[in-house]
Structures are given as C-alpha cells and as structure tokens.
A and B are shown apart, each in its own frame.
Chain A
Amino acid sequence: MLSRLFSDQPNRRYIMYGGKGGLGKTTFSAATAYYLAKTGRKVLVFSVDPQASLSDIFKQDIFGKGAVEIMPNLYAQEIDADHRIREYQQEIRKKILDMYQLESVPEEIENYIQAAAAEPAMEESAIFDEVVDIVVGGEYDYYIYDMVPLGHALYYLSMASVYDEWISKITKLREEMAEYDQVAAVMRRDKESQEDQILQELQYIKQRINASSSILTDKEKTAFFFVVVPEEMIIFDTQRAAKLFAKFNVPLSGYIVNRVIPEELGGQHIPDYLRNRLEMQKGYLKKIDTVFGKEVLARVPEFERDITGLPMIEKMAHTMFGDF
C-alpha cells in the first residue's frame, strides 16, 4: 500500500506526480492530498499548469484565488500567471517612479515593460517565481505539485538550471564591475564606492532559484512519481522521460500504474471487445514489470466513473492508501 511512502519517510515534504497528459496526475495529487489531510497533516496541492484542472476535480473554482481551503487541512491553489504578470509589471513601474521621483514612466521604458510581458517565456517564469514563493513559505506539512504534462515539466525543470547558470555569469560580470569601481574610488581617494544594488538583486534572484532547484533535487524531502497506464506508447514515453528526469537529478521514487481494468472481469461473461483489451493489458502490465521492475509501487484500477468531487476522491484515496 502506498501509505508506507509517507510513514517510511518522515522528512518527505514535496510530492510530485509526473506523466503524460490525461493519465491521472491530478487525480493522484488530489487523492494523496485527501489522504494526508485526513491523517492530520496540513497539505497544499497546487497546480503549475496554465490549463489546470484542480478546479474541476474539486468541483470548485479556485483559479487565481490563492490557497483555497477545500476541507480541514486541505488547501488547493491554481496559479493565475496573467494576473501575476500584471501585478509584477505594476511593481516595476512603481519602483521606477519612486526611485527617480517621476510622474510617469518614460515611454521607452514603458514599451519595454509591455514587450517583456508578451514574451512567451514570461508566463513560465512568472509561474516558476510564484512556486518559489509558495514553497519557501513553509506553511504546510506537505506540498503536492500537480505537474504539467511531461514536455512542459522538463522545460520547467531545466529552466532552474539554465537560470542558475545565467545568473551566475552575470553576477560575476557585475562583481568585476564593482572591482573597477573600487579601483577608481581608491585612485580618486573617494570614500567607499557605492554599494551595487543590481548585484544585490542578482544575489537575491540566485538565492530564490537555488531554493527552488534544491527542493526539486532533494532526495530526502522530495518524491517524484511517474504515472503510467498499460499502453505501449505510454510505456516508451515514460522510459524516455525518466532518463531525462534523471539527468536533472530529480529523485525518482517509483511508478504507479493507473487505469488497470480489473482482471476478475475476465471470469465473467463479457463482450470480446473487453476480453481483447484485457488480454492486451496483461501483456503490457508484464512489460511494465520487466521494464520498471521493483520500482512499480502500485496498480490502481479503472473506476466505473470519473473522479471528481470529494466522495470520489475519497474512494480513490482509499484504493491508493488503504484504510485510514
């Protein structure tokens, strides 16, 4: 039963489910959150997907409303990137006006602020930044990331290392500049050269990125699970993705097989169509076991209906974690 994933690892705080779109990441995230909340832990499940589905599964509109309490101990949050970007632009404008005591932002600068917000990378970066805010807040016992589909998740993970490298380089440039400042100040017998605010900003950014990537790669605190279903294409894709994730040092904790058609159906009088599907599934389940071996943690059956709303989430949580 999956409950030992938490009882064996008391330091675990960050849970992530990854996998292709539509395999059940959000369902597992919600069910895990439900289980943890019911067993007395304060949990936040949040989505970094611009097309998030937490609102759908909890049957409650939570988009862009911050952390919303779904039931005691269970909070859910969907990040509204657009809103975040608009707020952020406003912060920058205000800073410029305050710093230079201006009435309005110079046209050229305003154009830049607007153009920057329209860049495609802006949304991801804004989400990334908000996630840092959420996880460094430390208000919850557990954080569950409802991840975006695979390709996107990889992009998100790689962003941390790319940003980190970039910031390190320009921080170095900035430090060299400070050295020249120092030289000129000494020559001219000026008092201390001015402290470089940009350097301070860069160090702040670096520290935030490090906080985020250290969480993603912390083997003790973080668990990353892959969701697979018994289908050929999905098995191949997951294998490839697992290799890529390993490259970014993401601690892979195992695979959970979803949508398994119950085998006992085979004993009943069922149409050939379903019997064929069952046969096929048997082959793929075997394949999953050979490919992923001991890392396969559980098989979760296909339910008779969609999993939305708390009663169905509860049912799923009991299937995954047993009695609690």
Chain B
Amino acid sequence: MADEKKGSKLRGWTDSAKKMLYGMAGHDMARYALKTRGSMEHLFILITMGDLLGVPILPPYYSLRLLPYVVPQISTWKRRMLRERDLTDALA
C-alpha cells in the first residue's frame, strides 16, 4: 500500500519534471514544427487548389479528389494568402 503510494508520487514527480523539461526545451520546437507544417499545408493547398485564388496550377480533375480533405483549411488559407506581403509591398 505504502509502496504503491510512493510509486504514484514518484510518477507524479517524473511527469511534472518531464512536462517542465518539455516546456523548457520541447515546447518551442514542437511549436516550430507545427508552424512549419502549417505553412507547408498552405503551400500544399496553393499548389493543389490554386484556382480558388485565380491561380490555376494543375489539371483540376485530381485536385477535386483532394478537395474534401482540405475543406476546413480553405478559409484560413485564403485569409493568409491575401494577408501575406513581400518586400515589394513595402516599397509601393
């Protein structure tokens, strides 16, 4: 009984330690990985669904096949595409 309690306490400690360690080192990396992945997702949608912005990139037959999977991302993607600027915007 006492052993079990001790064990769970120890587990609690190691869990907290792991979480702390994750917060210190891993969290940023995970965030970075997810952010990069997010950008790639948008790049992917641009390549496959470009005609939504008036940029036809590929034959539409197979892009329609992929459409159902990207439905939730379409609106955030469009917002991002229209928001992103490059250096030439600043010069203008």
- Bits for B56-74, please: 1 = Cβ < 8 Å to A, else 0: 1011111111111111101
**Which parts of B33-49 form the interface with A (CB within 8 Å)?**
33-34, 36-37, 40-41, 43-44, 47-49
Q: For chain B, what secondary structure do more than half of its interface residues adopt (helix, strand, loop), or is it mixed?
A: helix
A132 to chain B: closest CB distance in Å? 11
CB pair A166–B58 under 8 Å, yes or no, is yes
Q: Which of A7-15, A120-128, A211-219, A249-257 contacts B (4 or more CB under 8 A)?
A: A120-128
**Which parts of A256-307 form the interface with B (CB within 8 Å)?**
none
Give chain A residues whose Cβ lies under 8 Å from the Cβ of B69.
Answer: 99, 197-198, 201
Give chain A residues whose Cβ lies under 8 Å from the Cβ of B67.
Answer: 92, 96, 109, 112-113
A281-B40 Cα distance, complex, nearest whole Å: 62
Whether a CB of chain A sits under 8 angstroms from the CB of B30 is yes
CB pair B44–A174 under 8 Å, yes or no, is yes
Whether a CB of chain B sits under 8 angstroms from the CB of A324 is no
Q: A119-B51, A170-B47, A180-B37 are in contact. Are A89 and B64 (CB under 8 A)?
A: yes
Give chain A residues whose Cβ lies under 8 Å from the Cβ of B9.
Answer: none
Can you list 5 A-B pairs with a CB-CB distance of less than 8 A?
A: A92-B68, A112-B52, A177-B44, A187-B33, A188-B22
Taking Cβ atoms with an 8 Å cutoff, the residues of B that contact A are 18, 22, 26-27, 29-30, 33-34, 36-37, 40-41, 43-44, 47-49, 51-52, 56, 58-72, 74-75
Taking Cβ atoms with an 8 Å cutoff, the residues of A that contact B are 88-89, 92, 95-96, 99-100, 106, 108-109, 112-113, 115-117, 119, 121-122, 124-126, 128-129, 159, 163, 166-167, 170, 173-174, 176-177, 180-181, 183-184, 187-189, 197-198, 201-202, 205
* Known interface pairs A184-B30, A184-B34; 14 further A-B residue pairs with C-beta atoms within 8 A, sorted by A's residue number: A99-B68, A99-B71, A100-B71, A106-B71, A121-B61, A122-B60, A173-B43, A173-B47, A177-B37, A177-B40, A180-B33, A187-B30, A187-B33, A201-B66
